[in-house]
A and B are shown apart, each in its own frame.
Chain A
Amino acid sequence: MAALAQVLLHDVHSLTRGERELIATYVSSLNDCVYCQTAHGALAACHLDGDEELVRKVKSDYEQAEISEKLKALLAIAGKVQQGGKQVLPADVERARRSGATDLEIHDAVLIAAAFCMYNRYVDGLATWAPEGLDGYRERAKVVARDGYLRAPLGIPVPNEGEK
């Protein structure tokens, strides 16, 4: 589980860490998962010079947010994946290509969105506790932003917590 997040969100990539965390945050907000959207929103802000307002804007209305056309197109794909894989249409992919998205970026946008449909269900399906107050998330975000997901596991309070 952490290894997947590490590759998708932290490892070197043509999409910045901030962009990828924004995709994760957006999908988590569509899935109404408080813990994930807050944790990844804090991480996105961390990678974007602390711009929490941008993160909020992306969640509420990304088409109007100050982000690239490419990221808007990838967020559109991610939003479709959240509804269901078959909702992603050739026109959605075309829009992403026209804005410069590569095959790899399209692949990863789909997989990040799909993965967060897993993480969100895991967290909420076991009714885990989400801390209130943003300070804790901001502090954790600095550690994860610096060290990644393998050295700083998320510490979700679930029974029999494993390393996957």
Chain B
Amino acid sequence: MMPATLWEGLPMPHIALSEGLPGILGPMIYRPETAAPLNELVDVLLRGDSTLTRGERELIATYVSSQNDCHFCLSIHGAVAAHHLGGNERLVSDVKTDFAQAGISAKLKALLAIAGHVQRGGRHVTAEDIEAARRQGATDLEIHDTVLIAAAFCMFNRYVDGLATWAPANQSDYREPAARLAEYGYSATTEGIAAAVSAGAGD
């Protein structure tokens, strides 16, 4: 656990959120009505049936989050990606810094290029980007989901940072939560935490 003193002087979130919850958890516990569709979306996109593996999809989410410089999102999704990839944190790091040189498939590289363009803005995705992905064997569904994952993380990153939530600094702090997310998914994990927060706040 981090010593309490290291948190002194850190800016508070912009609204009153439950203490001790990192990143998106505080806002989700605060507003369960919006948390439900947000978690449903990410469960479908990152964990649902797909010809892209969970590891590949988490890498897309991590890459976009790093492009948006969102520490919480890139850390937690990077940890989940590593979990799905046999603990290969080095690969996750390589994808964030230079995916074109990383040890991933040509198809995933082409999809990450699309994701990077979506991060800048929808119109930055060109016909050439799509063609390049198709040449590497990407299906329409894989392209669709890549665009939507990238778009969704442009939302999540802004939500997390827009409310000035705090996030643990060390990558090692994310391994255990990532293992839980990988096993139970986003909706179930968040609901479990919400229940624990309510129980703690109750009689």
| Total A-B pairs, Cβ < 8 A | 135
| Bound form: Cα–Cα A108–B163 in Å | 10
Is A158 engaged at the interface, CB distance under 8 Å to the other chain? yes
Contacts of A118 in B (CB 8 A): 151-152, 154-155
B144 touches A114 (CB 8 A): no
Bound complex: CA A17 to CA B155 (Å): 21
Q: Is the beta-carbon distance between B37 and A126 smaller than 8 angstroms?
A: no
Q: Which of A4, A107, A114 contacts B158 (CB 8 A)?
A: A114
B31 touches A110 (CB 8 A): no
Please name the residue on chain B nearest to A114 by beta carbon.
B158
Is A120 engaged at the interface, CB distance under 8 Å to the other chain?
yes
A125 contacts B147, C-beta separation under 8 Å = yes
* Chain B CB within 8 A of A119 CB: yes
Please tell me if A123 contacts chain B, counting CB pairs below 8 Å: yes
Instruction: List 9 other contacts, CB 8 Å, given A32-B121, A121-B147, A124-B122.
Output: A3-B37, A81-B162, A88-B162, A90-B164, A108-B31, A114-B155, A115-B155, A122-B148, A126-B122
Enumerate chain B interface residues (CB-CB to A < 8 A): 11, 14-16, 27, 30-31, 33-34, 36-38, 40-41, 44, 68-70, 114, 117-119, 121-123, 125, 127, 140-141, 144, 147-148, 150-152, 154-164
